[in-house]
Each structure stands twice: as structure tokens, then as C-alpha cells.
Structure 1
């Protein structure tokens, strides 16, 4: 057992050294990649050493305020801040940014297009024809979104989606590009 603990401490030291030379946003991307690669669930850190995955859940009126405490997520406390930082200019970009918010920053494993569109509508950027927009994001090479399941038989049946690694990288690139 002692050998396993020594390996664990050694691994922590290696990770600490590797992350020491990069900025906070890059550290967040690296940590998310490692977690995804090794199937680990990670909550966001509010401050160094203080883990806080507290998301504002539905308030008294049943509405989701779409706020989250973030550390490595760029410090966005509201979807509006992330959307603004991304410089999203098309419906597809908006849906992609909303997917990033829901899956990466809020930690949901999957989402529906209605959930994404509600976030966008609250900002005055609602999307008409969400199914077509999602189909376009799925059709990109590599796919930016994946459809996980469909509930119902009609063409308009509710579908469940997941952001791909390429989709995550696309949003992070939008944020970096708009910041410069």
C-alpha cells in the first residue's frame, strides 16, 4: 500500500510542475481533458484549494438562473458573460456556446436543444429551427455535437445531445480569438 501512496504523491508532484507554467484558462482545459480521458468527474474550484460545484438550481419560480461558480472555466458567473466573451455571431455558434455552458461549466452529461435555446432566448438571441442548427453542428467534420438519443417517433421528437471534444475546442478557440 505504501508504494501506491508514493506513486500517487509522485504523480501529484508531476502534475503540479506541469501546470505551474501555464495560465488559469489553460490549466482548466488540461484538467478537463485529463478528467474526460480517465473518466473522472470533476467539480469546479471556486478558489485554490476550495472545491465548490455549487450551481444555482431552480429558484422559487422554477426558473433556472443559469449561474455557476467557476474557477478554470474562465471565471464566468453567468451564461451572458460566456456568450459575450465568445463573440458568437451565428445561430450555430450560439447553440455551441450554450452547449459548452451546460456540459462543461455546469457539468451536465447531456442536454436538449430546448434547454440551450432557453439560455439564448433569455439574452435575446433565440434560435428558430433549432433542429436544423443541431443537425448542421452534427454534420461538421469533426462533429461538434453528437445526438445521443431520440424520444418519440416523429421528426420533431425530443433529442438528447452531447458536446464533442471538437465542439469544446471550437468554443474555447472562439473565446481566445475574441479576447485578442
Structure 2
């Protein structure tokens, strides 16, 4: 048994979703387990380096982890959303998808320059959205040097892409493939 096997056992794999050949890692089964979810949050909090002012969660499942981590880390929650979902003035970052482009936004007054931000999401795959979130936070003057994920799909390269941007990256679990 290795570290975090207890959490890995709580994640269901659904073959061929959303298309043939994909092994979908369904975290909803972990979220349904109060002890498992609490354990995941405790371990993510323990992996945090230094103090942080804000936990940035990427829509939508990242919000769950950001809010839960904010409590033990005594930090605020910064929402990174899809375009068109936030009222008021926002700043945006565009990024490439496999077939096309997308945009994420945050409120332009969501952080003060120099705020220390921890980026969080449920899963890292190719890292495109996470890298766009890092650029967005930095554009607003935030200092983001670390990111945490429940699940890493290392074969897709997202963790290495974030490390190339100068971030320390931690994930509790890794699954081969995509």
C-alpha cells in the first residue's frame, strides 16, 4: 500500500467516457464520503508551502476544494470562472483547447497586488486551463507559486507544463493514461 491508496480507492473509473478510449476518473464518489473528502482536504492543506492569502479554485469542481481548503489555511476564495458567469468588471485570459479556444475570467478587484495565491482544482490533465489561470492571476498582480490537485494524469503533461511556469505542483493521486 502506498500513500493515498485509501483515497484512490474512493475514486470510480468509468471506461469510455465521454468517448471511447477515455478512462474517466470520477471524484464524485470521493466527495460522497465525508471521511475521504476531509482526509483529502487535510492532506492538501498539509502540502501547502507557507502562508497563502487566497485559494483560487477553477470552475467548477475546483470551487469545492478551494472553499474547503480556505478554512484550515485561513484564506479567502478566489473564483476562476468561465466567461460570462461573473457580474461586474472582470479581467480575462484566453487559452487554446484541443479544437478551438476558451476564456476564463475573475473579478478585476478580486485580489490586491502581491497577494499570495494557491491554485487548486480537482484534476490536472493537459494543464491548459491551469496555465491560463496562472497567467490571469499574475496579470492581476497576484503571486502564484504553487498549485494543488486531487488527481494528476501525468501522461498528459499538465504538471510538467505548470512546473515550467515556475510552480511547485502537488497532487494526492496519479492515474496512468487519459
**Does TM, scored on the shorter chain, surpass 0.5?**
no
- Higher-RCO chain (CA-CA 8 Å, sequence separation at least 6): 2
Q: Which has the larger radius of gyration?
A: 1
Between Structure 1 and Structure 2, which shows a larger proportion of helix residues? 1
